[in-house]
Amino acid sequence: MAVEGGMKCVKFLMFFFNFVFWVCGIALIAIGIYVQIQLNHTLIMKNAASSGAPIVVIVVGVVIFLIAFFGCCGALKENYCMVTTFAVVLVLIFLVEIAAAIAAYVYKDKLRTAFEDSFKNGMSKYNTTKDITESIDLLQKEFKCCGAFNATDWKQYPPFNGTDAVPDSCCKTIIAGCGKDPSATINTDGCATGIDQWVKKNIGIVAGVALGIALFEILGIIFACCLMKGIRSGYEVM
């Protein structure tokens, strides 16, 4: 028995929103991979506390990608079981995202602490490996910073301990040997402050994207419930 108007519209709207979910899933996977690479190679943050966030983003992206595909198939085939499963999983994802947002707010200060500890660890191993040296230098160049809290931090670590010298990447105008030149102008702000400001500057974009995805999820749940009701009533959505 064909359903006219409303239910047919719900079917195609659900398909459309699942397609959007599918694209969002791909975007989250890409963002998570990019952030993970940046954390590992640029920010030298390789502990579980700091790398957990991008891994969670990648996992959520994969789940959304798979669920969106599942929802599209359920809508097109008008399969009650598939649509119901889609709705239940989407509700669970929505609840997990709420819990993650609350946890991120509660533990937001720990991210800075994790970065500070990782950066200090990198400073203590400066010049021991090429990767660590390049990571520290790249970070100090990009954020125009020096040391974890300020430039004097380098006095605690070799090969700069006990001197006023700093890595060349601390210099505002970088030339070979400028870090050992007393007349050179160096960046005095710590990298922990630079990262903290960068996070605060970009948190609005992240929050906006998260709210947008949440809105689509709510609409997807509503459409799925409407379609479930129509299918259960014995209608055949054409």
Q: How many CB atoms lie within 10 A of CB 223?
A: 24
Residue 182's CB: how many other CB atoms inside 10 A? 6
Overall average pLDDT of the 191-206 stretch: 75
pLDDT for res 170:
93
What does the block give as tokens for 197? 């400001």
Are 177 and 209 in a shared domain? no
Asked if residues 172 and 144 have their Cβ atoms less than 8 Å apart, the reply is yes
Confidence of residue 194 (pLDDT cuts 50, 70, 90): confident
| Predicted local distance difference test score (pLDDT) of residue 6 | 61
Same domain, 22 and 43: yes
Long-range contacts of 169-174 (CB under 8 A, 24+ apart): 169/136, 169/137, 169/138, 169/140, 169/141, 170/140, 170/145, 170/146, 172/144, 174/141
Contact 170, 187 (CB under 8 A): yes
What does the pLDDT read at residue 7? Answer: 64
Q: What pLDDT, on the 0 to 100 scale, is given for residue 171?
A: 93
The confidence band for 168, taking pLDDT boundaries of 50, 70 and 90, is: very high
Length of the chain: 238
Q: How many domains, the chain?
A: 2
Query: Would 149 be classed as within a structural domain?
Result: yes
Instruction: Summarize the confidence of residues 151-164 as an average pLDDT.
Output: 86
Q: The domain that contains 142 carries what CATH number?
A: 1.10.1450
* Distance between CA atoms of residues 120 and 112, nearest Å: 12
Q: What is the mean pLDDT of the chain?
A: 76
> Do residues 29 and 62 lie in contact, with contact meaning Cβ atoms separated by under 8 Å?
yes
Residue 59 has pLDDT above 90, yes or no: no
- pLDDT score at 5: 54
The whole-number pLDDT of residue 2 equals 42
Higher pLDDT, 81 or 55: 81
Element spanning 63, H or E = helix 48-77
96 & 181 share domain: no
> What pLDDT does residue 81 have?
81
Each residue's pLDDT tens digit, 23-48: 877 877 887 777 666 655 555 544 44
Same domain, 11 and 43: yes
Contact 64, 96 (CB under 8 A): no
DSSP character for 144? Answer: T
Q: What is the pLDDT of residue 41?
A: 53
Q: Show the tokens assigned to 225.
A: 């419930």
Asked if the model's pLDDT at residue 117 lies above 60, the reply is yes
Is 4's pLDDT higher than 60?
no
Domain limits for position 13: 6-110+203-232
Torsion of CA 151, 152, 155, 160, to 10 degrees: 30
**How high is the pLDDT of residue 62?**
83
Structure tokens at 131: 């990767």
Is 121 among the domain residues? no
In a domain, 198, yes or no: no
* 72 plus 144 within the same structural domain: no
The pLDDT tens digits of the residues spanning 12-22 come to 777 777 777 77
Are 217 and 180 members of one domain? no
Note the pTM of the prediction, 2 decimals: 0.56
- pLDDT at residue 1, rounded to an integer: 41
Please write the tens of the pLDDT for every residue from 199-221: 777 666 766 777 777 777 787 78
Do 168 and 217 belong to one domain?
no
